[in-house]
Chains A and B, each alone.
Chain A
Amino acid sequence: MTAIIILIVLIVVVALFLISMYNSLVKLRNQVKNAWSQIDVQLKRRHDLIPNLIETVKGYMHHERDTLENITKARSQAVEAESVGDKAKAEGELTKALGKFNLVVENYPDLKANQNFLSLQEELTSTENKISFSRQNYNDQVLFYNNKIQMFPSNIIAGMFNFKAEEFFEIEEATEREVPKVSF
């Protein structure tokens, strides 16, 4: 009799353990997904800010038509990009174009006194930061999740229910280095 009770208790404990492990894996996977969507939100925010920025600076920067056109072109390519690879490339181009823009702004003191421009500039700086912070958070979450599904004992549950390792969001070294140092 006692043997049966002990057995039942043991089974219940093991079952509870497995269930909680499964649930924590699901939670981690959802966190990774959520972190990914955060990056998207910030990229979209940057797309929304750019037309406003162009509109504001057009009147000041007559000699920088090329720079502005580059930004507009890069933006529309980034908006249209579908696959993750295309997206990363197009966003990289956009970052580069904005970096160039930040350099030439230095030559327009009038523009730097414009209140509207200054607040747009802060929004853009912050959005660039948010993009890189959300990427940083995404990679943190992926690392934690991947560790969990590869390590014993949670790897057993992960294998049984087909939890797959997620990919890190890496940016090519070259583009990474050209992220504007957000000094306007």
Chain B
Amino acid sequence: MWELIQANKRKSTVLIITMGMILVLLGYILGSAYYPNGGGIIGVVIAFIIWGILYLIAFSSGSKILLAVSGAKEVTKQVHPQLFNIVEEMKIASGHPYMPKIYIIDSAAPNAFATGIKPDNTAIAVTAGLLGRLNRDELQGVIAHEMSHIVNRDILFMTVSGIMLGAIVLISEVFIRSLWFGGGGRYRSRSSRDSGQAQLIFLAIAIIFAILGPIAAQLLYFAISRKREYLADASAVRLTRYPEGLASALEKISQSTIDMPKANKVTAAMYIANPLKKKGEKLHDLTSTHPPVSERIRILRGIAHSADFAEYQNAFNKVKGKTSKIIPQSALKDVTPLGLREATGIPLAGLTQKKSQRNVGDLIMKLNDYSFINCPCGVKIKIPPDYKKDKVYCPRCGREHTIK
């Protein structure tokens, strides 16, 4: 895992410098289009101020905003002991020194994400729908994938490059809109004919740049985002030694037809599977933050003998039919075969659809501070948090229960 983290760091730096260069160039050209004499520098400064503001927001409260926007609630171990245990298992397996905070999202759609820029302050959020549908092995696979994002520092990287992308898009948008209102034209009429011509050329370059810059930055961002998803899958296999867990979890997630209303374009990249994808819709490869789920599943199921990175790369090559490097070379050198384990088949599996829906409902109620009483007649009485009386009668058999 450590070779991988180092390789990731190097690549991240390269990418961030590339995006930074696009940002600087964009600022310079757009600035020059406004003021040919020295406007470029001002443009660069403005670009950096915008970037700085976005950076400050993301680093001071990015996680909090993300968790709040997705409607996640922090929970204690009592709410879902199994989830807590599984996160702790993956924390131990990855050797990460800090326990992530655990959030449950009040949604019936199955999905999950991890967040947190600093290693000692991270969080894993899963939806109630995910907990209601998966068995222990599958949930372990999903948590291992999220834990890998944390350990591989993907979140830091995606945040930093996301901010760059945001700044580039914002600046281009503002420029193009200002042209619409004739902002550039005023200065042109004041200058002499020669510099006017130079400015026209600048303006043309600037427009081309303002259109192409964001597209280039986005394609770069998406390409890296997809690669990190594969990497997190490979790391998850390494952690759990059980590829089938993640594979069948992804299958269940992709089969769900429930929408996730609180996910949007900005937060989509963070989820384990793209929350915005409608069932049956085919996303374009280049403009997607996630690789197609069916492909990820086929790769995972192609792993037969060992949980190491080289095996994942082989399975990847077989499925994709080409040899693009998903795993950095330095991590492939480690060829010690790592034995796979067998399925544990722990409960929660084989739930009927009705039962699983009820599970999800109960969990959402628990999140909203409902308490439960099991009546001997088999009814589960749900008590809302604003219920004031200290006694309740079972609606089926009429037994009296005291509320603790």
A residues near B (Cβ < 8 Å) are 31, 35, 38, 42, 119, 122-123, 125-126, 129-130, 133-134, 136-137, 140-141, 143-144, 181-184
Q: Evaluate whether A140 and B86 lie within 8 angstroms (CB atoms) in the complex, with A119-B81, A182-B344, A183-B345 already known.
A: no
* Interface window among B11-19, B90-98, B210-218, B295-303: B90-98
Excluding A126-B86, A130-B92, 7 further A-B contacts by CB distance (< 8 Å) are: A123-B81, A123-B85, A125-B344, A133-B93, A134-B93, A137-B94, A141-B95
Instruction: A136 to B93: give the CA distance in the assembly, Å.
Output: 7
The answer to whether A181 and B342 touch (CB under 8 A), given A140-B95, A144-B2, is: yes
| Residue B259 lies at the interface, judged by CB distance under 8 Å to chain A | no
Check if B81 sits within 8 Å of A122, measured CB to CB: yes
Q: How large is the interface on B (under 10, 10 to 19, 20 to 34, 35 or more residues)?
A: 20 to 34
CA gap between A181 and B137 in the complex, in Å: 12
Question: A181–B342 Cα gap in the complex (Å)?
Answer: 8
Within the complex, what minimum Cβ distance (angstroms) separates A28 from chain B? 9
Across the interface, do A130 and B88 meet the contact criterion of CB distance under 8 Å? yes
Contact partners of B86 in chain A: CB under 8 A = 126
Asked whether B93 lies within 8 Å of A181 as measured between CB atoms, the reply is no
In the complex, the answer to whether B89 meets A140 with C-beta atoms within 8 Å is: no
Contacts of B89 in A (CB 8 A): 126, 129-130, 133
Q: Which residues of A contact B345 (CB under 8 A)?
A: 181, 183
Q: Interface 1/0s, chain B 220-257, versus A by CB < 8 A? A: 00000000000000000001010000000000000000
B1 near A: Cβ within 8 Å? yes
- Known contacts: A35-B95, A130-B89, A133-B89. The answer to whether A140 contacts B1 by CB under 8 A is yes
Task: State A143–B82 Cα separation when bound (angstroms).
Answer: 31
Q: Which A residues are CB-close (under 8 A) to B81?
A: 119, 122-123
Q: How far is the CA of A143 from the CA of B145 in the complex (A)?
A: 23
Chain A: CB-nearest residue to B1? A140
Shortest CB-to-CB span from A142 to chain B, Å, is 11
CA–CA, A133 and B93, complex, Å: 5
Name the residue on B nearest A133 (C-beta). Answer: B93
A134–B92 contact, CB under 8 A? yes
Q: Are B344 and A137 in contact (CB under 8 A)?
A: no
A38 partner residues in chain B, CB cutoff 8 A: 92
Q: List 25 A–B pairs whose Cβ atoms lie within 8 Å, in order of A's numbering.
A: A31-B95, A38-B92, A119-B81, A122-B81, A122-B82, A122-B85, A123-B81, A126-B82, A126-B85, A126-B89, A129-B89, A130-B88, A130-B89, A133-B89, A133-B92, A133-B239, A134-B92, A136-B241, A137-B92, A137-B95, A141-B95, A143-B334, A143-B336, A182-B344, A184-B346
Cα separation A122 to B90 with both chains bound (whole Å): 16
> Nearest B residue to A129 by beta-carbon distance?
B89
**A123 to B241, alpha carbons, bound, how many Å?**
21
B residues less than 8 Å from A133 (CB atoms): 89-90, 92-93, 239
Closest 10 CB pairs of A and B: A126-B85, A133-B93, A137-B95, A133-B92, A129-B89, A134-B92, A182-B344, A183-B345, A133-B89, A130-B92
Distance from A24 Cβ to chain B, minimum over Cβ atoms (Å): 10
Could you tell me the distance between the alpha carbons of A122 and B77 in the complex, rounded to whole angstroms?
Answer: 13
Within 134-153 of B, Cβ neighbours of A (below 8 Å) are at: 136
Which of B82, B88, B344 touches A181 (beta carbons < 8 Å)? B344
B86 nearest in chain A by CB position:
A126
Question: Which residues of chain B come closer than 8 Å to A182, judged between CB atoms?
Answer: 344, 346
Q: Are B92 and A126 in contact (CB under 8 A)?
A: no
